[in-house]
Amino acid sequence: MEYVCIVCPNGCRLTVEPTQEGVVVKGHKCPKGEAYGRDEFIDPRRVVTAAVRTSDASYPFAPVKSDRPVAKKDVDAVLRHLYRLTVDLPVRRGAMCCTDCCGTGASIVFTRTLPPSSGGGAP
Contacts by 30-38 with C-beta closer than 8 Å and gap 24+?
32/7, 32/8, 33/5, 33/7, 36/3, 36/5, 36/6, 36/7, 37/3, 37/5
Q: Which is nearer to ligand SF4, 36 or 110 (CB)?
A: 36
**One character per residue 13-42, x = contact with ligand SF4 (rule: CB under 6 A):** ---------------xxx-xx---------
Site size with ligand SF4, rule: CB under 6 A: 11
Q: Is 10 in the site for ligand SF4 (CB under 6 A)?
A: yes
CB closest to ligand SF4, residue no: 33
Handedness of CA 74, 76, 81, 86 (dihedral sign): positive
Binding region for ligand SF4 (CB under 6 A): 5, 7-8, 10-12, 28-30, 32-33
